[in-house]
Amino acid sequence: MSTQTPRRGPLAAVKVLDLTRVRAGPACVRQFADWGADVIKIESPDYMEVSDGWGGLRDGPDFQNLHRNKRSLTLNLKDPDGLAVFYQLVAEADVVAENFRPDVKFRLGIDYDTLAKINPRLVYASISGFGQDGPYAKRPGFDHIVQGMAGLMSVNGDPAHGPMRAGFAVADVGAGMYCAMAILTALIERQTSGLGQWVQISLLQTMIAMLDFQAARWLFLHEIPGQSGNDHPTSIPTGVYPTADGYINIAAGEQAMYRRLCLALDRPDLVEHPEFNSEALRSQNRRALNDVLSAIIRTRSTSAWIAAFERASVAAGPINKINEVFADPQVQHLGVAQPLRHPRLGDIDVVGQPFSLSRTPSQLRTAAPDRGEHTERVLRELGYPSERIAALRAKGAI
């Protein structure tokens, strides 16, 4: 069993009740856990055979990466005594986060209006696939489905190969990050009003927001962006080019950067070439320009070009496999991989926070907890004596 160490950090005064599962919700709550909040993960007791612990994958990299720094309490929220324990926790909590189907919270009696009567200062966060109401509210929301519905797959990939999903759960993780920002916004507003509120976010809204300039192209200009493969949709040359031993990324669409690229390639004539001498012309003649650049760049190795472009201040970089990412000296310098000690797995690494604070850094204290690992400890904090805890366990409320 992991040993809880004292919390510290900018969110050490915040208590979060985590009802989330799978990815979007846990990605949100992880932000609070890493920055010092007391996060209590509410899980179903083992006998209920609910897969909110991801079954046998609990010791796998995904679960461990999502649920570090949390405590685990098992509660049967369908049992009146289990629900009573939850209500006691709500009374002193700052945040409740959930990503059930929109109707589940009301059936269980844990919806925002119900909990706000117990604790008016509560910030209640709901993550869903498509929103808490509307024509799609009851649809199951999955990252892959939303990538298609929100337009990402229509602009991602090569047009010769049809729609293409992103290689990671961009809608899930994005929704988690936006939700964490929304909760923090509500907590800051609470300092003025003294009241909590209901935070709502959906994977669909998140994915559209993350399309950013591609979505704005339609809203402003009624342009329907298409797939552009490894090329940037509008800024050329920005894309992938073959080298003598692999590939390299180059981003040189802006005029001054393009000039530096041409000089680094020892082709100053390309700067004033009549088909390539403006950003608009380069976008219009991208295929011809890419053919010229590819013929030059494939004559030298990736590392040779990286060195040359660095000297010339041209934006370029290798295309790394994941193992190469974590072997990169800059990645190691930034400390992206963070160590943890797990009671069964031993020393493990997880992905650290992508931002830092100078005085109050994030802290990885404990590995993901076992299901119900902290049930007795949390109940004792609420004032439950041993005999009452035993009775709750015997009837299946915890």
What is the DSSP-derived secondary structure letter of residue 335?
A: T
pLDDT score for 153: 97
What is the DSSP-derived secondary structure letter of residue 161?
A: G
Residue located via tokens 């337009």: 151
pLDDT tens, residue by residue, 280-321? 999 999 999 999 999 999 999 999 999 999 999 999 999 999
CATH number of the domain at 15-211+336-395, out of 3.50.50.60, 3.40.50.10540, 3.40.50.620, 3.40.50.2000? 3.40.50.10540
This model's pTM is above 0.85: yes
pLDDT score for 50: 75
CA dist., res. 225 & res. 215, Å (int): 8
Catalytic residues: 172
pLDDT score for 2: 34
Domain residue spans of the chain: 15-211+336-395, 247-318
Cis peptide before 135 (omega within 30 of 0): no
Q: Name the phi and psi angles at 374, rounded to 5.
A: -110, 15
pLDDT tens, residue by residue, 151-163? 999 999 998 899 9
Q: Name the phi and psi angles at 332, rounded to 5.
A: -65, -40
* Cβ within 8 Å of residue 173, ≥6 positions away: 23, 24, 27
pLDDT tens, residue by residue, 322-338? 999 999 999 999 999 99
Q: Can you list the residues of the chain whose pLDDT is less than 50?
A: 1-5, 53, 55
